[in-house]
Structure 1
Amino acid sequence: MSSFLPFKDLESERLLLRQITSNDVNEVFALRSNPETMKYIPRPLVTTTDDAMDHIKMIQDKIEKNEGINWAITLKDNPKMIGIIGHYRIRWEHFRSEIGYMLLPEYQGKGIITEAIQLMLDYGFNEMKMHSLEAIIDPKNTASAKVLEKNDFVKEAHLIQNEFYDGKFLDTVIYSILNNS
């Protein structure tokens, strides 16, 4: 099992993925309080910057406990956080982790998440030594499905009404990719 400390920044052609800090509280608030960015994420909206700070603290705690790792997505020429991506629900004993991501609306549709997922694949397979990575999405989230398929994820399952949130039963779709190297 690898350790997430010391925290490692990741770089691609356009992106720098760095640690999320308390300085990102306004951007975390913008992401997690926006009904549009949270439309396919069955979690309550944050309503205060204190809620956003609690979210940042939870992310930092998971890194310290080696239970999950998230990065702030930034453009190389600008340190402002524009999104979050990371490995959630890591099952070390099964060599599998779930990736998840969010991006501010004004940066969507520019290939940023596709590029960031490539960094997640590299980190997950080469640093974490995972055998497979998964992404669990709302079946109505066609943009996320397209991004995953573009990154060679395969639809593994469509689970019917397997989650209950906000008084409704919701379906989920699982995409995965195997480490074939």
Structure 2
Amino acid sequence: MYLASERLVYSKFRESEYAIYASWYTNAAVMKHITGKALTEQEARERFGKAMATNQEHPDMGFFAARLKATNQFIGIAKLAYYQSEYIEVGYGFLPEYWGKGFATEMLTFLVDYSRHLPGGRDLIAIVDPKNTGSKKVLTNQGFVLYDSKPEDGRPTEYYKLSWVRYSGTD
């Protein structure tokens, strides 16, 4: 299956791609608004194992490497995964040298559109560090609304939701 947006191509992570996965999760700047710090090598390996399990369990969802169409250069990660029993979590992020170039908007637009074709019609959720104003702006511009704010793993966390009724314009 070929998944692409205007400038990016997406492919589910494979076991052989641990190094690029780890390059993202062990990057302190990337992880500042996710866990508060870069993951250790062991933490990255554990998270990669969980990502691989999710990728195997759900053929149309999981953790995707995002690459530039023009060069095939890895630049970030996209995520679509079940959250609790009622939501699909969307996640997106890029290596710092690709920040501020519109890739987050492009990726989130792709994830929202792609998720419309998944079975079950679940609402989408995004989990965000309240200090990550750029990500919050990308979410609200796409129609996500803040619906909860509570600590997760001891860190302040905001939860944004996009309901299918709101998204489809059929309030």
Distance 1:134 1:75 in 2: 26
More strand by share: 1
Structure 1 residue 170: Cα displacement: 2.1
* Deviation, structure 1 residue 52: 4.4
Matched position secondary structure for 1:126: coil
List runs of 5+ in structure 2 lacking aligned partners.
Answer: none
- Shift of residue 53, structure 1, vs aligned partner: 4.9
Amino acid corresponding to residue 171 of structure 1 in structure 2: P
1:34 shift after superposition: 1.4
Residue 156 (structure 2) aligns with? 171
CA distance in 2, matches of 1:143, 1:58: 27
> How many residues are treated as equivalent by the alignment?
165
CA contact (8 A) 2:104 2:138 kept: yes
How far apart, in 2, do the equivalents of 1:117 and 1:110 lie? 13
Corresponding residue to 1:147 among 131, 138, 144: 138
Residue by residue over 1:112-154, the C-alpha shift from the partner in whole angstroms, topping out at 9 and shown as x without a partner, is 1111111111222222442310101111111110111121111
The worse-fitting range, judged by mean Cα deviation, of 96-105 and 127-136 is: 127-136
What residue is the counterpart of 1:74 in the other structure? 67
1:1-181 aligned within 5 A: 8-42=1-35, 45-48=38-41, 52-66=44-58, 69-91=62-84, 93-94=85-86, 96-159=87-150, 162-164=151-153, 169-180=154-165, 181=168
> How far apart are 1:23 and its partner, in Å?
4.4
Identity %: 30
Q: Is the contact made by 2:12 and 2:55 (CA closer than 8 Å) also made in structure 1?
A: no
SS in 2 for 1:37: helix
The answer to whether the 8 Å contact 1:83/1:101 transfers is yes
Instruction: Determine helix, strand or coil for the equivalent of 1:134.
Output: strand
Deviations 1:59-113 (CA, angstroms, capped at 9, x unpaired): 121121239511111111122221001113434x53x211112210001111111
TM-score by length of 2: 0.83
Cα root mean square deviation, aligned = 2.3
Mapped to 2, the partners of 1:104 and 1:118 lie a distance apart of 19
Instruction: Give the distance between the partners of 2:56 and 2:10, measured in 1 at CA.
Output: 18
Over 4 Å off, 4+ runs: 50-54
TM-score (norm 1): 0.79
Q: Which has the higher helix share?
A: 2
